[in-house]
Structure 1
Amino acid sequence: MVNQEDPRVKRTRQLIRNSFRDLLQKKGFDAMTIKDIAQKATINRATFYAHYEDKYALLEEITEHFFLGMIPEEVINADEFTDEICEQLILLTHQYILDFYRNCRMDSKSIASLVDEKIKRMLQQIIEDIFSKGEKHLLPDAQHTKIISAITGSAIYGAAHSWLNVGGNNQTGGLTDLVLPFVMNGLKGYRNYGDA
């Protein structure tokens, strides 16, 4: 096991990530091999495997690192799911999807579905964390919190994804106008239903 805090380990991991991103644009995910990544990073395959199980683990780490890096502290530290927090999540999810499709060769449906699932899970977790901090009195238990977080995250991700892929629209002007009331009214409706 490598020491993640060792500066040499950090440099090697950065070389691997940079090589992966470059090869992703040039070759695509399916055609890229561990040998390609190692050669481009000027390391041997054993060194690659000391850091990552395979290229899927590397993809997952890069996706997580990039997406979480986009999340502002205001959202991470939020203790209430407000219109402003929801709007930020809609916009940054759309921006992430736009950047991903713009910067990666999308000749592989497998990479798209892997990244889509990873982003949906992370978005759901961010929303669940917010609900868990401030909405305990509104959501009866952890199971309800998980389910409502999944619904909310799926609505945001699905809308942002469709806005770009179905509508071919990389402008966000009407996206928040469409999605924000849907999500927030849905949450309000759930709360009112729970009070009945």
Structure 2
Amino acid sequence: MSNVFQPNPNHPSVILTRQNILNAFSLQLHKMDFNSITVLDITRVANINRSTFYAHFQDKIAVLEAFLANAFLEYVLNRVENEGPLTEETIRQLIFSLCDYHVASNNCIKKYDTLVLNIERDIRLQLEQFISPLLSKSNHQANPKTLETAVKIVSLSIYEITYQWNLEGRLESPAELADRVMPLLMLGIKSL
């Protein structure tokens, strides 16, 4: 058992310190490659000591994961209303959001194949958590297990389609990608 102090994650000062660390990491990421960034670089920019850093993050990889998860959520919330039902336009905007996210995160993680699996898992989980209430509002009488399966299918489909789009060099615009895949996704959703 570790004797490391674990701050209350909901306390305002903890939230501010964590955001300060993420902001410092972001500034460093714009100046240098991820491999070149050290915890000391981050703590100097954040104006905190190393023990404060380690009270919030295990290492710089954990900071990268949190940074990308926050970026993903920001991209989604900038385009998609999270209170309404899951509609064709919502899916279109989710596709655009993920395209934006992949383009922006490409420089951060392209050299870090070992990190990609963890980051992808976290992003897919966030996408599921975002889509689940939207799909539930649209299909409130559907069987819960069927809804759960549909959420996974839609989430994984959107993520994988946009991920492949990015890997293959973004040969079509996000709008063209959305136009191509929307009929297939909507066909499955409408069958609920």
TM-score (norm 1): 0.80
Map 1:70-81; keep pairs closer than 5 Å: 70=75, 71-72=77-78, 75-78=81-84, 80-81=85-86
- Which residue of structure 2 lines up, in the alignment, with residue 127 of structure 1? 131
Question: 1:139-174: CA deviations, max 9, x gaps?
Answer: x12x32222101101111111111121143373231
Displacement after TM superposition at 1:10 (Å)? 4.9
- The yes-or-no answer on 1:19 pairing with 2:24 is yes
Say if 1:35 and 1:45, in contact at 8 Å, map to a contact too: yes
- The yes-or-no answer on 1:113 pairing with 2:117 is yes
The percentage of counterpart residues that share the same residue type is 29
Displacement after TM superposition at 1:86 (Å)? 0.9
Displacement after TM superposition at 1:101 (Å)? 1.0
**In structure 2, C-alpha distance between the alignment counterparts of 1:27 and 1:167, rounded to whole Å:** 22
- Which residue of structure 2 lines up, in the alignment, with residue 46 of structure 1? 51
Question: 1:33-73: CA deviations, max 9, x gaps?
Answer: 43342234332210102222333432333223222223148
TM-score (norm 2): 0.81
Counterpart residue identity of residue 174, structure 2: T
The correspondence for 1:95, drawn from 97, 100, 108, is 100
Say if 1:98 and 1:170, in contact at 8 Å, map to a contact too: no
- Which residue of structure 1 lines up, in the alignment, with residue 186 of structure 2? 184
Displacement after TM superposition at 1:20 (Å)? 1.8
Displacement after TM superposition at 1:74 (Å)? 5.3
**Structure 1, unaligned runs of 5 or more:** 192-196
- Which residue of structure 1 lines up, in the alignment, with residue 39 of structure 2? 34
Counterpart residue identity of residue 184, structure 2: F
**Structure 2, unaligned runs of 5 or more:** 1-6
Counterpart residue identity of residue 53, structure 1: Q
Displacement after TM superposition at 1:114 (Å)? 2.5
**In structure 1, C-alpha distance between the alignment counterparts of 2:51 and 2:138, rounded to whole Å:** 46
**In structure 2, C-alpha distance between the alignment counterparts of 1:92 and 1:113, rounded to whole Å:** 20
**In structure 2, C-alpha distance between the alignment counterparts of 1:105 and 1:69, rounded to whole Å:** 18
Aligned length: 183
**In structure 2, C-alpha distance between the alignment counterparts of 1:21 and 1:124, rounded to whole Å:** 26
**In structure 1, C-alpha distance between the alignment counterparts of 2:109 and 2:188, rounded to whole Å:** 36
Say if 2:24 and 2:45, in contact at 8 Å, map to a contact too: yes
The correspondence for 2:12, drawn from 5, 17, 26, is 5
Deviates more, 1:32-41 or 1:155-164: 32-41
**In structure 1, C-alpha distance between the alignment counterparts of 2:12 and 2:177, rounded to whole Å:** 41
Question: 1:118-149: CA deviations, max 9, x gaps?
Answer: 211111111111122331213x12x3222210
**In structure 2, C-alpha distance between the alignment counterparts of 1:106 and 1:74, rounded to whole Å:** 27
Cα gap change, 1:166 to 1:126, in 2 (>3 Å):
same
**In structure 1, C-alpha distance between the alignment counterparts of 2:40 and 2:176, rounded to whole Å:** 44
**In structure 1, C-alpha distance between the alignment counterparts of 2:131 and 2:99, rounded to whole Å:** 16
